[in-house]
Amino acid sequence: MQIQPIVAALRRHRLATLLIAMEIALACAVLCNAFFLVAQRMEMIHTNSGIDERSLAVLSVNGFEPSQAADVNARMLAGLQAIPGVQSATLINQVPFGPQRAAAGVTHDPGGYKKLIGVVDFVLGGPGTFKALGLKLVEGRLPQADDYQPAVSFVPNDAQVLVTRALAEHAWPGESPLGKDFWCDKFHFRVIGVVDHFARAQPHQYDMAQAEWTVFTPTAPGGSLSGTYLLRARPQDVQRVLRDAKAAVAKIAPDVVLDQEDSKTLGDLRTDYFETDRIMIGLLLGVVVLMLGVTALGIVGLTSFWVGQRRRTIGVRRALGATRGDILRYFQTENLLIVTIGITLGMLLAYLLNAVLMKFYELPHLPLYYLPIGALALWGLGQLAVLGPALRASHVPPVVATRSV
Amino acid sequence: MISYYLDLALRSLKRNKVLTALMVLAIAVGIGTSMTTLTVMHVLSGDPIPQKSADLFRVGLNVFPDDNFRPGDKVPDNLTRRDAEALLRDARADRQAMMSAGTMVVTPAQGDPLSLEARYTTADFFAMFAVPFRFGHGWDRGDDGHHARVAVISAALNDQLFGGRDSTGSMLQVGGQSLRIVGVLDDWSMNPRFYDLSNGRFGDSEQVFVPLATALDLHLATSGTMNCWGNVPDEHAADAPCLWLQYWAELDAPSTRRAYRQYLQNYMAQQRQAGRFTHPGQIRLLDVMQWLDAKGVVPSDVRLQVWLALGFLGICLLNTVGLLLAKFLRRSGEISVRRALGASRRAIFMQCLVEAGVVGLAGGVCGLALAGLGLVLVRHQPTDYAGLIRMDPSMLLATFVLALLSSLLAGLLPAWRAMHVAPAVALKSN
């Protein structure tokens, strides 16, 4: 197959060629970036919370005075534990994908803002909460009975805490975090252990790298640690247990108000939390499909037009001995050339678009391997779109050459 | 002449139905997606209080002690109670109010206790934000001063608790205390809820309004961001080093705005002299639209969707350019005959543009239907703004303008090429 005559023919249709190439280029740029965004969202949806989501539910009540907290906690814990199927009922202040209750900037030095580590989530947990969550300890020790200190304001004044591996690697890179100290203003924390994974309440609101900057703070019940309860049951029982627990609140503590919105299974919390991401993925994929469809239609339309215009030329070529395959391959090669020009432009455009997106959204660089994937997709699309008109061209009979008009 | 071109355009479009349908469809899909996302954007970035948005200012002061002050930091959104009360006492603006969000549990005469969203604020709130009343009125500054046990409730709560009758004078049981209802709001919602964006940006307004001093007396729970430094036994204490109160000032004239800015600078200077900090301090005064802009109230996903849709429209237009070009040049013969019979280049150009415009209008109509469909989908999304999304007349008009403009734009190049067809060559080759 000779390329030269094709190039010569394209030169005569510079404008149309350029248009299709531009369309391909734009499609390439949008395609690569849309797929990249989809991949990012997918990664978010699969955020590892580090806990046994399938076995857990959370129940939240409010409307009681701080002075009643101890009494409400005692009644609620006893009442919830009595529900059939509940393996454990413990106190917690926040869970992954639920409302954020305690987050603050922490530093390497007491009191100041000079050696900032970052903003971390404090998960306060009573006795038994660590085990109920199913967190995986990778280093250090579990909290013991005397580690559970009362939280006078939002966290205990002096706490022995467990941090996630992600936070440990950020705060003390290359060092063992065990025994290390950090502060939040006057509040002091000492690391006694490291957990594998533990997502913060609203991981989405932070960089991906900060999604697990969580500090598990053993806390004695009362004060800030009241009103939110973690229920653990067998996965198949969780829904029922939560339903029973919600119904039981009116009997256990008639004086408090059940927070319907925040009382859910962890599975439901996760689903709700990522709902908008799922919609966005659907939307992005929908636009990609529509866009590829429109691009394909454009190619079909223009190639059909060219085929119509060149009917006589095709007839002459056929009369001079070109086979049907030759004609077919001519249009296929022509399309390959145009799409290749488009893709070359499109790759530049994709990086430009990525740079713009990076400016406005917290997005990393577009990985290079997206480009060949986008290119392959568009080559495929181009060949598919051109097939119909090209086949029609190959069926032009040689006799056309002998007719005028 | 235009009607003749219109007739020609319709004939030409009818002659090649598939190609015409393809062009209309491409424009319709592009317009439909663009208008869906632009409408969402338009609704979300709208002015919640158009008659007053230029007169209402959010006040921010940077009063961090030197230890917590880092140059280049943003001025915090909220004020400490000490500063808010000082500004309120001086009352240098035309109107001013400090406020916080909160939740309270109300025990109705019958039925279960209700957990309600509340706003603790001061007397000017209602006049400042042009809050409409169905019954009664707000409280006055005197009530703020002597911590009156009063409340204003929303229309929805009034319907729920009192069956919609005039409940002013009735009592609202909150914990062990009772608050006298002095006013019932008419239907009122600010979207976005610009006066406090920290507790849900869109949605209904609060159900109960209580004087801030009363709420503090009763130890009602506050919500929203609470940013403290130092050791804080009671975050709500009068001198607690905690930023948690929103402060708004109404300044109706440019001269009062200048004066108020000067007043705030003087206030900061006084605080510096009193030894609270040694850094120069910063003030920030933003009107409603500046404030919404600074807080980035339009979700970033929505912006992304707009970009995506516009990119998509671009592809659809390029596509239309290509198809129109093919169509016009295929008619080289016909155009040459018209030229040979004396039609000017301008006439050919106009004829082609009219044809492009007809395609655009048809695309606009179909696009409008698609946008309507898209908006129904948006309304069924579980987002806090879903219920607000409506197409208004201005967006309706914008749809057609966009469709027509983009199709004319797409038609320019093909029409230009068509008018330069050399009649003699084209006629001979046929």
Residue A263 neighbours by CB distance under 10 Å? 22
pLDDT the model gives residue B430: 56
Distance from CA of A353 to the nearest CA of B (A): 10
Cβ <8 Å between A298 and B382: no
Record the tokens describing residue B269, joined without a space: 């200077």
How much is the average pLDDT of A339-366? 87
> What is the percent of chain A with per-residue pLDDT over 70, rounded to a whole number?
98
A320/A214 same-domain check: no
Distance CA A183, CA B31 (A): 54
pLDDT the model gives residue B159: 93
Check pLDDT > 90 for residue A138: yes
Does A185 contact chain B (CB < 8 Å)?
A: yes
pLDDT the model gives residue B169: 92
- Say if CB A227 and CB A62 are below 8 A apart: yes
Does A146 contact chain B (CB < 8 Å)?
A: no
- Say if CB B320 and CB B29 are below 8 A apart: no
A268/A281 same-domain check: no
Candidates B173, B318, B420: best to mutate against A (most CBs of A within 10 A) is: B318
Residue B248 neighbours by CB distance under 10 Å? 24
Does B370 contact chain A (CB < 8 Å)?
A: no
Distance CA A102, CA B392 (A): 42
Interface of A with B in 245-274 (CB under 8 A): 250, 255, 257, 259, 272
Distance CA B154, CA B133 (A): 9
Does B308 contact chain A (CB < 8 Å)?
A: yes
Distance CA B211, CA B140 (A): 10
Check pLDDT > 80 for residue A289: yes
pLDDT the model gives residue A113: 63
Residue-wise pLDDT for A153-177, tens only, equals 778 888 999 999 999 999 999 999 9
A233/A327 same-domain check: no
Residue A277 neighbours by CB distance under 10 Å? 18
- Say if CB B131 and CB B244 are below 8 A apart: no
Instruction: Pick the last residue of a domain from A273, A290, A311.
Output: A273
A170/A306 same-domain check: no
Q: Tell how many helices (H) and how many strands (E) occur in chain A.
A: 11, 13
DSSP assigned state of A402? G
Cβ <8 Å between A257 and B383: no
pLDDT the model gives residue A257: 85
Q: Quickly state the pLDDT bin for A1 (edges 50, 70, 90).
A: low
Cβ <8 Å between A302 and B322: yes
Q: What is the mean pLDDT of chain A?
A: 89
A292/A250 same-domain check: no
Higher pLDDT, A274 or A205: A274
Check pLDDT > 70 for residue A214: yes
A176/A143 same-domain check: yes
E-strand spans in B233-317? 242-243, 246-250, 282-287
pLDDT the model gives residue A90: 94
pLDDT the model gives residue A399: 86
Find all residues with CB under 8 Å of B340, minimum gap 6, and list them: B423, B427
Do strands B227-228 and B221-223 pair parallel, antiparallel, or not at all (unpaired)?
A: unpaired
Record the tokens describing residue B232, joined without a space: 């804080």
Q: Which residue of A has its CA nearest to B232?
A: A153
Residue-wise pLDDT for A357-389, tens only, equals 888 776 788 888 888 988 999 999 999 999 999
Candidates B115, B207, B310: best to mutate against A (most CBs of A within 10 A) is: B115
- Say if CB A159 and CB A129 are below 8 A apart: no
Nearest partner of A191 among A214, A224, A223, judged by Cα: A214
Q: Does the bond joining B192 to the residue before it have cis omega, within 30 degrees of 0?
A: yes
| The total number of structural domains that make up chain A | 2
Higher pLDDT, A401 or B181: B181
Consecutive 10-residue runs of chain B (430 residues): their mean pLDDT?
Answer: 84 83 88 88 85 92 83 86 94 94 87 86 94 93 92 93 92 88 90 82 86 92 82 82 93 93 93 88 90 83 83 86 84 86 90 91 91 88 79 85 88 89 74
Instruction: Pick the last residue of a domain from A273, A292, A323.
Output: A273
How much is the average pLDDT of A27-43? 89
pLDDT the model gives residue B257: 93
Record the tokens describing residue B414, joined without a space: 């093909």
A217/A319 same-domain check: no
pLDDT the model gives residue B190: 82
Chain A residues whose CB is inside 8 A of the B300 CB are 360-361
Residue listed under structure tokens 């080559």: A379
Instruction: Count CA atoms within 13 Å of residue A171 on its CB side.
Output: 33
A115/A250 same-domain check: yes
> Residue B185 to residues B104, B135, B196: CA-CA distances in angstroms?
18, 7, 19
pLDDT the model gives residue B429: 66
Domain of A19 in residue numbering reads as 4-45+276-402
A246/A322 same-domain check: no
Candidates B64, B315, B425: best to mutate against A (most CBs of A within 10 A) is: B315
CA A4 to chain centroid: 48
Find all residues with CB under 8 Å of A314, minimum gap 6, and list them: A307, A327, A393, A396, A400
- Say if CB B113 and CB B127 are below 8 A apart: no
Interface of B with A in 283-302 (CB under 8 A): 300-301
- pTM of the predicted structure, to 2 decimals: 0.77
Distance CA A139, CA B174 (A): 49
Cβ <8 Å between B315 and A30: yes
Instruction: Pick the last residue of a domain from A273, A301, A323.
Output: A273
pLDDT the model gives residue A112: 62
A11/A153 same-domain check: no
Residue by residue, DSSP assigns B311-374 as HHHHHHHHHHHHHHHHHHHHTHHHHHHHHHTT--HHHHHHHHHHHHHHHHHHHHHHHHHHHHHH
Cβ <8 Å between A284 and B308: yes
Chain B residues whose CB is inside 8 A of the A23 CB are 315, 318-319, 322
Distance CA B380, CA B318 (A): 32
